[in-house]
Amino acid sequence: MDLWKSVREIEEDVVAYRRHIHENPELSLKEFDTADYVESVLKEVDGIDSIRRISPTGILAEVRGAKPGEGRCIALRGDMDALPGDEMADVPFKSKRPGVVHSCGHDVHTALLLGAARILARHRSEFAGTVKFFFQPAEEVLGGAIQFLAAGALENPRVEAAVGIHVFSEHDAGIISSRKGPMLAGADGLTIGVKGCQSHAAHPHTGRDAVVIAGQVIGALQTISSRFVAPTDPVVVTIGQINGGIARNIIAGSVTLEGTIRTVKPETRERVHRELEKMVPALAEAMGGSAAVGIQRGTPPLICDDGLVDRLEAVTEKLLGKDRYVSLPDPSMGGEDFAFIMEKVPGLFIRLGVKRPGGPVTPGHSVDFFADESAIAPGLAVFAGTALDYLGVPLE
């Protein structure tokens, strides 16, 4: 099939989807207008077999192939939520909502998924099987992907592969990248409560200084990555918040530490948790105090299936050319809740370069963030093309 012909026919519409969503951003779990807009677009598409809300702002749509045979089932996912902030990018479709901005590119993801739904629906006669489209809320607060799992979106029929896409501001517009194996870190929350004994600041020997104990704990945490885990296995333990003490002349009786744990291998994740739960209380006890460790399990590591990455590279080279695919050398220590889905089925996560060629890098989550629209056509071609290729449709 001539996929590029289909992409060019709807490119302007997909750009318009992006601009509408960009102008009307909504925070996590409040994507009501966005979900209504997505639903209205899908209802106008001939060939969408089902559209249903799996939550107040989550939408699952399906296209079933019309070619005889059982076929395979693949899911495509796009997240929809925005972030707090006042947009500084100078664009004609700037956010109309004070204090809310699409600074992570989810407007682009949603528009690409709408475009992919149109292309797959149009070419449904060329494949057997099913494509599911996950229009996901609340990625930024890590609550959206699990809504689809809870709703049984991976079943009836069973999803055999899942593909997500995310803009990447470090690569020029239209560059496609991914990597085999771990691509993004698992991200867990960490809370440590240190207990000492309050006393007069002039007489520290009469108490047990929780601040000093906490300081030793913070330093010791860094030995988790440097002495308990292989140097080739990335681990980041960060303490981002410290609260303790009641006055400058009182030895603190308690301190609370808050932070994160980031790992790229499931087995390393579990080991780091175990070591923290052993080390921290033992160290505090050795200093005359006590400590309790609380770990809030967040997203698991995002691990790409080797075969799907090979497929992405081949599709990209066929549609865009050999120089447009980049194999990422290292995993990122950022987290992504699509990993909950990729834990259940073989998955692929696509990076789509959106930097204006020759322009500056505008980091995601920055109010200066900008995704160049020249990335939309190649992103759409590869996103839809990967699904079509998986379903056995020859691409031109």
> Which CATH number covers residue 129?
3.40.630.10
Give Cα 89 to chain centroid, integer Å.
Answer: 23
Cβ proximity of 133 and 80 under 8 Å: no
Q: Do 192 and 292 touch, CB atoms closer than 8 A?
A: yes
- For the chain, the average pLDDT equals 98
Tokens for 9, please give them. 């026919």
Helix (H, G, I), strand (E, B) or coil at 319: helix
Q: Does the pLDDT of residue 62 top 90, yes or no? A: yes
Phi/psi of residue 372, nearest 5 degrees: -70, 135
How many angstroms separate the first and last alpha carbons of the chain? 6
Asked whether residue 395 is domain-assigned, the answer is no
CA 107 to chain centre: 14
pLDDT band, residue 380 (cuts 50/70/90): very high
Check: pTM over 0.75? Answer yes or no. Answer: yes
Residue 35 and residue 125 share a domain: yes
> Is 154 found in the same domain as 58?
yes
The length of the chain in residues reads 396
- Is 83 a member of any domain? yes
The mean per-residue pLDDT over the stretch 216-231 comes to: 96
Could you count the other beta carbons within 10 Å of the beta carbon of residue 306?
13
Tokens of 20: 């509408």
Domain count, the chain: 2
- Model pLDDT, residue 1: 86
Task: Mark the binding-site residues, compressed into ranges.
Answer: 104, 106, 140, 166, 365
Q: Which domain holds residue 53?
A: 3-184+301-390
Mind listing the pLDDT tens digit for each residue in 244-303?
999 999 999 999 999 999 999 999 999 999 999 999 999 999 999 999 999 999 999 999
* Whole-number Cα distances in Å, 230 to 9, 226, 296: 51, 8, 24
Residues 55 and 149 in one domain: yes
Contact 255, 211 (CB under 8 A): yes
Q: The domain spanning residue 209 has which CATH number? A: 3.30.70.360
Give me the amino acid identity at 189: G
Buried-exposed string 286-299: b where 16+ CB fall within 10 A, e elsewhere: ebebbbebebeebb
Domain closes at, from 299, 333, 360: 299
Residues 93 and 29 in one domain: yes
Long-range contacts of 265-269 (CB under 8 A, 24+ apart): 265/182, 265/233, 265/301, 266/186, 266/300, 266/301, 266/303, 268/229, 268/233, 268/235, 269/186, 269/188, 269/300, 269/301
The predicted model gives 132-140 an average pLDDT of 99
Residue 184 CA to residue 339 CA, distance in Å, equals 8
- 216 and 347 in a single domain? The answer is no
Residue 208 and residue 333 in one domain: no
Binding-site annotation, residues for Mn(2+): 104, 106, 140, 166, 365
Phi, psi of 320 (to 5 degrees): -115, -25
Compute φ and ψ for 319, nearest 5 degrees.
-90, -35
Residue 358 shares a structural domain with residue 375: yes
Residues 25 and 152 in one domain: yes
